[in-house]
Amino acid sequence: MKHMMKPIKLITTLGLLLVLIPSLSFSRGAREEKPVRMALSGNPDTLDPQKTAGTLTFQVTKSIYDTLIEPDPKGNLVPALAEGWDFQEGGKRILFRLRRGVTFHDGTAFTSKDVAATLKRMQDKNTGSPHGAEFSLIERIETPDPNTVVLHLSSPLAPLLATLASGWSAILPAHLIEAGHDFGSRPVGTGPFKFKSWVRDNQILLEKNTSYWMRGKPKVPGVEFRIITERSIQVQGLLSGQLDVIDMYDAIDLPILEKNPAVKVEKVLTSLVMVMAMNTSRPPLSDLRVRQAINHAIRKEEVLEVAYGGGIPVGTFMDASDPYYVDFTSLYPYDPEKARALLQEAGVASDRTLEMILPQNYEPHVRAGQIYQEMLQKVGLTVKIRLVDWSTWISDVYRKANYDLTVIGHTGKLDPDSRLANYGTDKTYVRWVHPEAASLITKAKSIMNPAERKALYSRVLEIMAREVPFVFVGTSYRYVGTRKDIEGFRIQPKLDAYDFRDVEVR
């Protein structure tokens, strides 16, 4: 099927690239002394990891902060600022042994007081963290000495370790928390790189933390995130040698990238779930028949291929490679005739218009939105597209649910609760309320037996697959492009976070 999509403004000339990012131009002869330069697809809404759910923030702050625990490349939880931990009292008490000799970027020593202050900040409703509820079962925090933290829980909490390994559990210095420091624009952590500057819509500069606790890391003097929203500009930057790493480009770009001897490309399956979200609190989307109709109107394989460069279709709110994933793709096959019949049955007027709000800095989502618009039009639904910047999308769509339809990708999670928490209640941006699903999600958090947890989550995923608060499109592939002389760059797939600690220039 050929789509007559609205044109996306692309700027492809190298001359304009140099105008937009002039500070990138320098001789490759001195390359080893320069930061690694990576394209970032938009502005983070903040650099305070505890006050956002935005992926762009965590992609940057992974290099600035550390967590008590972290995932290895396969998603296994391994020590970070905590050298080890023990479960006691049936999981209601967790003792962490902290790493010694760690300092924050301002030179102060890392101790148990910083862990306690950070966790209490997350629990404080005044912080306004979208992840604050994940810490609600922590009743008391003990710091018997500078290198020990003991968490007392009101009940066992299976996802807590995964929460503590996620970007929003980054450890901040207690003395700056107490002083009301602005972590959003001047982050201070213990991570491999120190914050240097942030020019919005231009760049974020980080410099090597020479006192980093991992011996011999990082291996490069810094990281330079160039904020470049246009995919074509990113591609040109990589080809010309003005960028070292990009991870946002189309399969259509592969031939030219693969032909360039100075560039290498890696194709990997992400942990994303690409969706078209529906505000189920707004008519006619509050009618299950309308949501079913919209699902029957979408050819998922085509959306994945055209908008996202390929992937694996999914039928529920879990990425295809997750051990908790259950296949429900057969529930809503592409069937435009059935879609029309359901819309007629639901009494949707032919002149009814739905607004689809799209984050303009993500070209693939914009392209997917245009495909959805055309497919829905063919079954009798009129959709009007409105493009917004990322900060507006986070504020108006994700936080306030001021939208009808939107398109986004949900990043992978280390524990199913991190993806499913609050669904079935009106606290999520799809405003989908289902008491049984909400009850099962809550129950599964306190179950320590993996098989029992999986059974509960399987039922939740089935409910979501049938109730379709989203069009669950699929798990996409990611094409990561780097210059040939760059080695060691990794993306943690479950968190979609960039790791520069092992990067070196050959």
Write the pLDDT tens digit of every residue in 137-166.
Answer: 999 999 999 999 999 999 999 999 999 999
Is the pLDDT higher at 19 or at 473? 473
Q: Which pLDDT value is given to residue 17?
A: 43
C-alpha 110/C-alpha 163 separation (Å) is 20
- Output the pLDDT for position 102: 98
pLDDT band at 6 (very low <50, low <70, confident <90, very high): very low
* Confidence at residue 252, expressed as pLDDT on a 0 to 100 scale: 80
pLDDT, tens only, 92-138: 999 999 999 999 999 999 999 999 999 999 999 999 999 998 999 99
Q: Which residue has the higher pLDDT, 56 or 249?
A: 56
> In the prediction, which pLDDT does 247 show?
87
**Residue 24, pLDDT above cutoff 80:** no
On the question of pLDDT at 9 being above 50, the answer is no
The predicted structure's pLDDT at residue 249: 65
pTM attached to this predicted model = 0.77
Q: How confident is the model at residue 282 (pLDDT cuts 50, 70, 90)?
A: very high
CB under 8 Å to 461, separation ≥6 — which residues? 316, 317, 318, 324, 325, 326, 328
Phi, psi of 19 (to 5 degrees): -70, -40
Q: Is the peptide bond before 284 cis (omega within 30 degrees of 0)?
A: yes
pLDDT at 23: 43
Outline which parts of the chain fall under CATH 3.40.190.10: 14-63+191-262+484-505
The residue-averaged pLDDT of 63-91 equals: 93
Mean pLDDT of the region 326-342: 97
Residue 75 has pLDDT above 70, yes or no: yes
CATH 3.90.76.10, applies to 69-174: yes
CATH number of 273-477: 3.10.105.10
Say whether 390 sits in a helix, a strand or coil. Answer: helix
Residue 130 CA from chain centroid, whole number = 13
Mean pLDDT, the chain, integer: 91
Residue 21 — very low, low, confident or very high, per pLDDT cuts 50/70/90? very low
Q: How far is it, in rounded angstroms, from Cα 285 to Cα 100?
A: 54
Residue range(s) occupied by CATH 3.90.76.10 in the chain: 69-174
Q: Average pLDDT, stretch 66-89?
A: 93
CATH superfamily, region 14-63+191-262+484-505: Periplasmic binding protein-like II (3.40.190.10)
SS3 276: strand
Predicted pLDDT of residue 412: 84
pLDDT above 80: residue 248: no
> Residue range 337-353: average pLDDT?
94
φ/ψ of 337, rounded to 5, equals: -65, -40
The residue with greater pLDDT, 413 or 249, is 413
Mean pLDDT of 56-66: 96
Whether the predicted pLDDT of 211 surpasses 70: yes
